[in-house]
């Protein structure tokens, strides 16, 4: 094996520090981010078929916000809890990427 000692990194497991190399997959891992329940994000790319709400509108949990066309399926996105719409960042016909903040709630 080639000499990799210059590439060693410090790696902490249970408070102990180890010298070691890392793997590509480890380096590419995604950092976990706390999601904000007040942001309605797209979990899949698609296009917007319908938007039923406007900023300032007061809604109850379960009321439909929009219809998203993704993977040949029309999916209705619902209000997760009672609240007021703060912003609507999408319009009918928009093609949206994954993880886009479509609607925010106050």
The residues binding another protein (CB under 8 A) are 1, 4, 8, 11-26, 29-32, 44-45, 71, 95, 97-98
Choice between 54 and 97, CB closer to another protein: 97
Give, rounded to a whole angstrom, the gap between the first and last alpha carbons of the chain.
Answer: 58
Tell me phi and psi for residue 5, to 5 degrees: -60, -25
Q: How far is the CB of 44 from another protein (least distance, A)?
A: 8
Choice between 11 and 74, CB closer to another protein: 11
Q: How far is the CB of 82 from another protein (least distance, A)?
A: 29
Whole-number Å distance between alpha carbons of 95 and 47: 4
Q: How far is the CB of 19 from another protein (least distance, A)?
A: 6
Whole-number Å distance between alpha carbons of 49 and 91: 9
């Amino acid at each position: 094996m080639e000499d990799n000692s210059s590439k060693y990194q410090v790696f902490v497991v249970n408070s102990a520090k180890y010298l070691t190399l890392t793997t590509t997959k480890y380096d590419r891992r995604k950092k976990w981010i706390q999601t904000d329940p007040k942001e309605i994000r797209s979990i899949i790319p698609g296009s917007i078929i319908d938007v039923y709400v406007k900023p300032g509108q007061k809604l109850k949990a379960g009321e439909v916000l929009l219809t998203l066309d993704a993977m040949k399926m029309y999916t209705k996105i619902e209000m997760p809890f009672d609240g007021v719409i703060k912003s609507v960042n999408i319009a009918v016909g928009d093609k949206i990427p994954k993880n886009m903040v479509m609607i925010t709630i106050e």
